[in-house]
Structures are given as structure tokens and as C-alpha cells.
Amino acid sequence: MSSTAVLGCMFGDEAKAKIVDVLANNSDFVVRFQGGSNAGHTIVSNGKKIVLHSVPSGILYDKTVCILGSGVVVDPFALNEEITQLEKQGINVSNRFFIDPRAHIVLPIHQELDSKSENDKRNRTKIGTTKKGIGPTYADKSARFGIRFSDLYNIDYLKERLTNLYFSHHLEISKEEIDKLVESLSEISKKFEPFKMQVPYFINEQYEKGADIIFEGAQGTLLDIDYGTFPFVTSSHTVSGSITIGCGISPKKIDRIVGVFKSYFSRVGEGPFPTELFDEIGNTIREQGHEFGSTTGRPRRCGWFDAIAAKYSAMINGVDEIALTLLDVLSGLKTIKICTAYIIDGKRTLEFPYDTNSLNNCVPEYIELPGWNEDITKIKKYDDLPKNAKNYIESIEELMDKKVSIVSVGPDRNQTIFRS
Ligand code: GDP
Ligand code: IMO
Ligand code: MG
């Protein structure tokens, strides 16, 4: 076994970065394959917190090489700033950070289009995006007007492509403005030149040699462009199938799939959320879990664990094992609920619906389990967890028919319980 996928299986922010960071201790490579700087990935090591947006979560280990595959969209300005901040903290990326030249570039125009559509009063379905330009960049990629990382190294071609891109959006841009944009891109692209890597050749060769590779997901299954709660989704595929497309490796080379699930559900932005809590318990979870977006600072909506949505995610991704995170946040609740069925228009179903209307109308059916009061943040062994916490974990295992192999009881690396 030499490759492991670590994937968010809810609406994002499942603590993927923490799990990647913990597993990357023994890894040679951490590869991102989709998304962009819409991601906010938090790592806490010895009380020190680092939030990553585009750089993979292996960067804290000197020997781990971090890679962005072709499926990622790269905002060169934001990435440059992120790298500068990392360097200021003594984290060096040279010779250990690479980007596939095929990766598409997020330009200022993409962010403008993203914000414009989100702020436009005529828009009846605001997504609540991160306004990082992700949707417009993937749209331009599909429409074949997008700019790739490799295009930054051919100035004449870049100018031609940029002119074309503005034309495709029916926008005027002067020659002077194009020159200015190209100049600012050129400055960064000089710095980024050593990052260029033919990721498919490299990663396949490393896999064959037996290297330890982690594929790091961003966002979560329920935000997938097809399998999520469309249109309240991100614009990339967030599921395991996306790994193969997003870095040029066969599905046969994904050996282990770890699904990251929070011990409850959270969502930032608009869209259906069947188990959302609007009461004091929801507020308590938000406060105890510090549930405020890592990228935008927005308060996250919180709700009970939804086993229907979770099973759907596990099925689509082919999850082998579960990393259950933020269990400590539930400490102190008298009882804890898990959704085990949906009632939609009077009919009971165990299937996650494909349409927003059904999801908005569904009434969750719950089981209720006893909570625990103990502080669990210092517990290192599974057996030392309170009886009711173990009962909660084992109920999730039973409902999902999957093993919980990792339990996270706090943000720090060392607040992690591995089960044999
Ligand atoms: P990601 O996008 O999936 O990597 O997750 P985020 O970093 O956006 O959000 C997860 C948040 O939970 C971060 O603030 C983490 O530091 C924090 N966190 C991770 N694991 C735990 C845990 O087990 N308990 C608590 N209380 N916080 C955690
Ligand atoms: P990580 O990797 C949580 C959400 C946004 C919005 C929708 C579309 O940290 O889990 P976008 O900017 O992608 O067009 O926004 O997706 N979203 C996330 N929610 N975690 C994320 O990333 C997210 N990235 C995007 O809030 O609802
Ligand atoms: Mg996040």
C-alpha cells in the first residue's frame, strides 16, 4: 500500500488538513488534485496554527514534497502571498513544491465575475461562494478560454489568450491593460518557474517505486459539482474519482481511501442542510467547535450527524475507513442525535435525494444517544474514552458499516487516537 486519499465527505471543513498532516509524518508526497484557494486547511502543531489555502498540508514536514495537479486552479497572486507567509514562518518551499503546467490560472477577472454574480440583486440563487474566482475559472477551463500555468511562460501567446478570454466574456480590455496584467503575471511566473513539473510522469514513477503518497481533497463530497447539492456546490469534482483526472494517475493506484467526517455536520454558504440546528445546541456546537470559516471567517451552520448523507458520500468515494474528527466538541451535550432516515412528502427514504427541493423539504428521523461530560481532549487511547463517546462512535460505525480508524479529539496533531 503506498497511496492514501484523504477526502472530506460532508460540506467541507471536516478537518482534512489535520488528518493529512498527521498521516504525512510518514509520507513522501502530498498532492492536491482539485479546488483552489477557496480551501482553508488548518494545521495545529504544538499550539501553533497555520491555515493553508493552495499549498498541500504536507508542507510542515521538511522531507515531504507538495504537489498541485492539473485539476487544481491556481491563483498566482494568492499563492505567492501564501508562500511568502510560509517563508516568514521558516517554512521553505524550494525544491519541495511543484505545480502541473496544465493547471488553470485564477485571474483577477475571475474573482470580479464571482463577486459580481454573488452581489447581483437579480441573481436568485446565490451560492455564498468564497468569492475566490473558482467558479468562473473552472467555467473558462470547460469553455476552453482559460489560461494555464504553462501559458505564463509564452508572453505573446499569453497576450493572445488573455484578449480572447476578455472577448469571450464580452468585456473590453485595452492593449495597455493587457500589458499591465502580463507584466504583473510575469514577475510572479519568474519566481514560480522552478515549480513546473510534469505531474503525471512524476507521480506514476514515484508510485511504481513504492513512494508513500497522500492525495489531499479539498471541499467535500456534498459540494461536488455533480454529486453535491447542486447548484449550492463548488465547481470541481471533490470525490475520489477526481484524483485520477486531477493528477493523471489510474484509479488502480489509489490504494486506501480515508473519509474524513466531523462528529456533527457543518456547512458554510447557502444550500440545503437537512439536519441543521437553529437552536441553542447549534450555537453551542458552533462556539465549542470555533465553527467560523478558515477562508472567509463566516459563521458555519451546524447540525447533527446525518448518516444518510454520510453513507451516500462513503459509497461514492469508496471509503475504506473513517477519520472521525472534532469529537471533543460534543462533550457536555446531554444527548446527541444521529439522522437515520429522511421523510420526504410523507415517504420514508434511506437515499440522499438528488434535488434541492426534496432536500429542503425532508424531515430527518433521528436516533438519540446519551452524551458524556468528560473532557476528552487529552485522551490518547480509544479504550480511555467515556463509555458514551465509544457508544456514539460505534453507532456511527454500525450505521455506516465502516470502521472508524482515527478519532480526533482536538485541533493539535497530538490530539489524535489511532485504532488498530
Ligand atoms: P479542512 O478544511 O477540512 O482542513 O478543515 P478546516 O481547517 O477548515 O476546519 C477544521 C477546524 O477544526 C480547524 O480550525 C481545526 O484546527 C479544527 N480541528 C481539527 N480537528 C479538531 C478536533 O478534533 N477538535 C477540535 N475541537 N477542533 C479540531
Ligand atoms: P475546505 O477545503 C467549506 C463552499 C462555499 C460555497 C460553495 C461554493 O476548507 O473544506 P466556491 O468559492 O468554491 O465557488 O464556493 O462551496 N466552499 C467551502 N465550504 N470548506 C471549503 O473548503 C469550501 N470551499 C468552498 O462556502 O458554499
Ligand atoms: Mg476548511
CATH number of the domain where residue 132 is located: 1.10.300.10
Is the pLDDT at 420 greater than 80? The verdict is no
Which of 42, 52, 266 gets mutated to test ligand 1 (max ligand atoms within 8 A of its CB)?
42
Give yes or no: residues 270 and 389 share one domain. yes
Same domain, 174 and 318: no
Among 38, 125, 129, 233, which is best to mutate for testing ligand 2, by the most ligand atoms less than 8 A from CB?
Answer: 38
Q: Are strands 256-262 and 3-8 parallel, antiparallel or unpaired?
A: parallel
State yes or no: is 169 an active-site residue. Answer: no
Query: What percent of the chain has pLDDT above 70?
Result: 100
Catalytic residue among 21, 28, 41, 151: 41
- Section 138-144 average pLDDT: 98
* Ligand 3 centroid to residue 304 C-alpha, Å: 19
223 C-beta closer than 6 A to ligand 2: yes
* pLDDT beyond 70 at 368: yes
Ligand 1 atom nearest the C-alpha of 415 is 23
280 and 361 inside one domain: yes
- 73 in the same domain as 143: no
The answer, yes or no, to whether the previous bond of 370 is cis (omega within 30 of 0) is no
Average pLDDT in the 371-378 region? 98
Residues 146 and 182 in one domain: yes
| Mean local confidence (pLDDT), 304-315 | 98
CA atoms within 13 A on the CB side of 97: 22
Rounded to whole angstroms, how far apart are CA atoms 264 and 360?
19
| Residue 13: active-site member | yes
Q: How far apart are the first and last CA of the chain?
A: 16
Whole-number Å distance between alpha carbons of 235 and 219: 10
Q: What is the pLDDT of residues 226-257, one digit of tens each?
A: 999 999 999 999 999 999 999 999 999 999 99
**Residue of 7, 18, 414 to mutate, ligand 1, most atoms within 8 A of C-beta:** 18
Using one digit for the tens of pLDDT, what is the confidence trace for 72-88? 999 999 999 999 999 99
Is 43 a residue whose pLDDT tops 80? yes
User: Does any ligand 2 atom lie closer than 6 A to the CB of residue 38?
Assistant: yes
| Same domain? 170 vs 35 | no
Q: Are residues 299 and 276 in the same domain?
A: yes
Give the end of a domain, one of 192, 226, 247.
Answer: 192
Claim to verify: residue 64 and residue 200 sit in the same structural domain: yes
The one catalytic residue in 13, 100, 114, 140 is 13
Question: What pLDDT shows up at residue 124?
Answer: 86
- Kindly give the number of the ligand 1 atom that is closest to the alpha carbon of 289: 26
Evaluate if residue 195 carries a pLDDT over 70: yes
Any idea what the Cα angle at residue 195 is, between residues 194 and 200, rounded to 5°? 125
Question: Which residues, judged by CB distance below 6 Å to any ligand atom, belong to the binding site of ligand 1?
Answer: 8, 12-18, 40-42, 44, 289-290, 294, 325-326, 328-329, 408-411
Mutational pocket test of ligand 2: of 11, 232, 234, the residue with most ligand atoms within 8 Å of the beta carbon: 234
| Ligand 2: centre distance to CA 72 (Å) | 14
Q: How far is the CA of 8 from the centre of ligand 1 (A)?
A: 12
Q: What is the pLDDT of residue 374?
A: 97
Average pLDDT, the chain: 96
Q: Could you say which of 207, 239, 256 is where a domain stops?
A: 256
Looking at all shown ligands, the one closest to residue 35's CA atom is: 2
Is 38 in the same domain as 81? yes
Confidence at residue 240, expressed as pLDDT on a 0 to 100 scale? 98
In ligand 1, the atom with minimum distance to the C-alpha of 409 is 23
Q: What is the pLDDT at residue 1? A: 59
Quote the domain boundaries for residue 200: 2-100+196-256
The 10 Å CB-count burial string (b at 16+, else e) for 58-71 is bbbbeebbbbbbbb
- Assess whether the C-beta atom of 8 lies below 6 angstroms from ligand 2: yes
**Nearest ligand 1 atom, CA 43:** 16
Looking at the fold, whether 160 and 77 belong to one and the same domain comes out as no
Which ligand lies nearest the alpha carbon of 34? 2
Mean pLDDT of 341-351: 97
Of 256, 279, 297, the residue at which a domain comes to its end is 256
Q: Which three cell numbers stand for residue 57?
A: 498540508
Domain count, the chain: 3
pLDDT class for 298, splitting at 50, 70, 90? confident
| Shared-domain flag, residues 271 and 299 | yes
Ligand 2: nearest atom to the Cα of 296: 26
C-alpha 69 to ligand 2 mean position (Å) = 19
Does residue 294 have a pLDDT over 90?
A: no
Q: Does residue 185 sit in the same domain as residue 228?
A: no
